[in-house]
Amino acid sequence: MNPLILDGTVVAQAIKDHLKERIEALSEKGIVPCLATILVGNNPASETYVKMKGNACRRIGMKSIRIELPEETSTQELINAIEELNKDDSVHGILLQHPVPSHIDERQAFEAIAIKKDVDGVTSAGYGQTALGFGEFPSCTPAAIMSIINFYKIPLEGKHAVVVGRSPILGKPVSALLLNENATVTTCHSKTVNLPEILKLADIVVAAVGKPEFIKGEWLKEGAAVLDAGYNKGNIGDVDYESCYKAASAITPVPGGVGPVTIATLLKHTVESAERTSQLEVTL
């Protein structure tokens, strides 16, 4: 029996359709949700991602501001630009495109983003709130994975989820989100011993290791749900799709799986930030 294809384009469209109504309601109050993206240097892939996010904003009636800084920008100059956006009441979300040039302290720059505008969930405070179960804006890719799971009604409670990857904006927060939904979570990484044996125990597998076609179908428990958050050169995910397809009960494609929902989640968080601004203005 063929697995259920977890089509992220369908999930993303459902999110965006709902957002259009909320954006219209905000526009009646004179508020246009605005996402500011900061691009440092001239990384071609980053330029493409920023352009995609800007286009996604415009298509549903949001505003997008693009801040471009030269390659030689210092950490302090980047922080200064972020702080200007923090003070701008017309900006509801701030996205610092990753990666930044190597001479910049990326973590220090992330921490400069005001938590109420941290729509990409990159600050340590945002991560802490997510882990404790009351974060307003979880990291977008982990939140996208949870949206796919919820949309397709994949059961989590009591299930064993194995996350392969431990990055601060993907592996760690998605582990916390799964744990908060009463899954039993094992977080693995590049130093994990006997990874295939651990994956054999998993009802749900989240691939977030950044290695193309790393996870093999023979490592999976029969009927596992596979969510591939990897995106490598040549539109290839972190799982070997062909072999995992044969073993899984449900699987995300790459492209067209987690990626579109990640962008839709970024828009959703920005709209939610604008709605909070609107409510705050009412109470003042």
Q: Which of 7, 16, 117, 120 is catalytic?
A: 120
> What amino acid occupies position 275?
E
Q: Which of 16, 53, 117, 172 is catalytic?
A: 53
Cα atoms in the 13 Å half-sphere on the side-chain side of 65: 19
The total of other beta-carbon atoms located within 10 Å of residue 7's CB is: 18
Q: Is 53 one of the catalytic residues? A: yes
Q: Is 29 one of the catalytic residues? A: no
d(CA 146, CA 163): 13
- In the DSSP assignment, the letter for residue 232 is B
Residue 251 DSSP SS3: strand
Residues 6+ apart with CB under 8 A from 183: 156, 157, 158, 159, 160, 161, 204
Q: Which of 7, 16, 97, 240 is catalytic?
A: 97
DSSP lists the bridge partners of residue 164 as: 188, 207
DSSP string, 145-188: HHHHHHHTT---TT-EEEEE---TTTHHHHHHHHHHTT-EEEEE
d(CA 280, CA 223): 47
d(CA 24, CA 62): 10
Judge whether 33 and 274 are in contact, CB under 8 Å: yes
Q: Are strands 34-40 and 4-5 parallel, antiparallel or unpaired?
A: unpaired
Closest Cα to residue 41, out of 12, 15, 68? Answer: 68
Residue 195 DSSP SS3: helix
Q: Is 76 one of the catalytic residues? A: no
Residue 231 DSSP SS3: coil
Q: Which residues are catalytic?
A: 53, 97, 120
